Amino acid sequence: MYEFILPWPPSINGYWATFRNRRIISKKGRQYKKDVYQSVKDKNLLDEKLGGDLVVNITLNPPTLRKYDVDNYVKCIFDSLGDAGFWVDDSHVVRLVVEKGVKTKGGSAVVRVRQK
């Protein structure tokens, strides 16, 4: 089992930006990818390239009590883990559980990954 305590991710709406009629990853999205890369690097899991059937559990601990949709945060987390080389591709995820956690200063996302 692999576990990451990641920073609070930008929502899918904050992850993308429009620049000259093109969709690009926003500044917040690029910073988040760097933060996830560092978390993966700190655990010596760069280029781990997990494959096969993966089961992922995510607990979102928001920075505020504001309402939010859990599905708006998964894409950013998955793309960032893929770009860090942790897994081959997020298409290997066969089961995903996302739950709301408790308000935490600064917010966080606890991600647990295991092979089925």
pLDDT, one tens digit per residue, over 37-93 is 999 999 999 888 999 999 999 999 999 999 999 999 999 999 999 999 999 999 999
Q: What is the mean pLDDT of residues 9-18?
A: 90
Query: What is the C-alpha separation between 108 and 91, in angstroms, rounded?
Result: 24
% pLDDT > 70, the chain: 100
Q: What is the mean pLDDT of the chain?
A: 95
- What b/e sequence results for 84-99 when a residue is b if at least 16 CB atoms lie within 10 Å of its CB, and e otherwise? bbbbeebebbeeeebe
Using a cut of 0.75, tell me whether the model's pTM lies above it.
yes
Would you identify the CATH topology of the domain 2-115? 60s Ribosomal Protein L30; Chain: A; (3.30.1330)
Q: What is the mean pLDDT of residues 14-33?
A: 92
